[in-house]
Structure 1
Amino acid sequence: MALILVLETTTINCSVALAEDDKVIAIKEDKTPGYSHAEKLHLFIEAVLKEAKKELADLDAVAVSKGPGSYTGLRIGVSAAKGLCYALNIPLIAVNTLTSIAHQYKSLDFKNTYVIPILDARRMEVYTSVFELKNGELIPISSVEAKLIDENSYAEFNGNRLFVGDGVQKIEDTILDKENSMFVQSLPSTREMAKLAYDKYKISDTEDVAYFEPFYLKDFVIQKKKKA
């Protein structure tokens, strides 16, 4: 049985779980706005280990949400994961954040449904991809992208459209065609990541700890203050 520590820090949700194979046995989350991940992440790691009566030395792997998402959040989560993997000499597993969000809705029983995870980016941009839900399986039909949205965005996807994530309000406020569309505010969580991480663990789909970098999708930009 594999014991996997799972970390999610790409949005305001600081989420840590401990999973035996694909089953979560302990979880700690905080969705307070303000990105206090640097202060809370290691405390949450200690908390889930204590709850499950496990030690760091018991871990078989660490899984981390690789992005896209908050630049700072990604750096915090990936740095913690890499540090643990290096110190414990265990594998690092990376899970795409948008895939993780989409899997929150894998059990929906709708026909011809597109599950479209949306993470808010700067201005009118979102991080997004598109999945088609067929027979309980999510099939990716578009690559991850930083998309500049307008009134005609996603019009090419006919059928039920389920927009999920922390950026769905931006979509709902902008697109003209809202027929057969649902908009659900949600955040990525280690609850869904656990199974995705275990699926990768079983086939040794792991990362090079020394060279792995988060999936930023676009460059980090420092906004300069305007002169008075």
Structure 2
Amino acid sequence: MALLLNIDTAVDGASICISKNETVLAYTEHPTPTAHASWIGNAIKNLFTSNQLSMNDLDAIAVSNGPGSYTGLRIGLATAKGLCFALDKPLICLNTLKIMASAVCDADTDLICPVIDARRMEVYTAVYEKDLTIRTPPEALIVNDTSYAALLDGSRVLFTGNGVPKLQQVIKHSNAIFSNNRYTAANMPVLTIKQYVEQQFDDLSYTEPFYLKAVYFNKN
């Protein structure tokens, strides 16, 4: 039985959960993206204390590592790394798009396409089979009325995520299904435990957020 901490600050709100294998033991969230940094440390401490659990008993720490908000990803990974170093625990990084797909994998559809708003008409996206095998790897895509046309001609595709409103403006294909489902850290344990069992751990020193696009910093 593995005790796991799951952290998500990748997209909209922030959320954390403690899980034993696939089962969520405790969960909390914060809806304001601009307050992730000030919220997350105390939230983790309080979640363990209020559930009479010890962080020393953790077997691993998992984080949703992108793509997503650049600031959110940095906060999430920095928090996870800091705890891993302090507690001498392994780090597990999960792809945010895969977490989103996993959250709706029971839906009656052929393919799952998570989409994250990347400003203007751009989204971060990937396409997954129902068993979460990747059909189309993660990419940054500017959407228009021909986006996903080849897939939609032969398959019913479920689009999910905060990028859905952009797609609904331009994609009118009858095989396009749009979901308002919101993923959280509570959707992570089923993926976290799999990577834990398979010992798929990430390097604490060199792992960086999966931004998908190049990051440019203002040097002024």
TM-score range, shorter chain: over 0.9
Q: Quote the offset at 1:54 in angstroms.
A: 0.8
Is 1:81 aligned to 2:100, yes or no?
A: no
Measured at CA, do residues 201 and 51 of structure 1 come closer, stay the same or move farther in structure 2, by a change above 3 Å?
same
Q: Are the counterparts in 2 of residues 11 and 187 from structure 1 also a CA contact under 8 Å?
A: no
Any idea what the Cα deviations from partners look like across 1:51-101, whole Å, max 9, x if unmatched? 321112111110000100000000000000000001111100000000000
- Correspondent of 2:198 among 195, 200, 203: 203
Equivalent position SS for 1:191? helix
Secondary structure of 2:102's match?
Answer: helix
- Deviation of 1:222 after TM superposition, in Å, equals 5.4
Give, as a single letter, the amino acid of the residue that structure 2 aligns with 1:87: A
1:86-105 → structure 2 map (5 Å cutoff): 86-105=85-104
Q: How does 1:1-228 map to 2 (within 5 A)?
A: 1-32=1-32, 34-110=33-109, 113-133=110-130, 137-157=131-151, 158-175=154-171, 177-221=172-216
Q: CA RMSD for the aligned pairs?
A: 1.6
The TM-score normalised by the length of structure 1 is 0.90
**After TM superposition, which residue ranges in structure 1, 4 or more long, deviate above 3 angstroms?**
221-224
Instruction: Please give the alpha-carbon distance, in whole angstroms, between the structure 2 residues aligned to 1:192 and 1:88.
Output: 24
Shift of 1:223: 7.9
SS in 1 for 2:28: strand
- The secondary structure found in structure 2 opposite 1:35 is helix
Whole-Å separation in 1 of the counterparts to 2:204 and 2:22 = 22
SS at match of 1:217: coil
* Count of equivalent residues: 217
Cα distance between partner residues in 2 of 1:222 and 1:184: 34
Larger strand percent: 1
State the shift of 1:188 in Å: 3.2
TM-score, L = length of structure 2:
0.93
Identity of aligned residues (%): 39
- Amino acid in structure 1 at the alignment position of 2:160: V
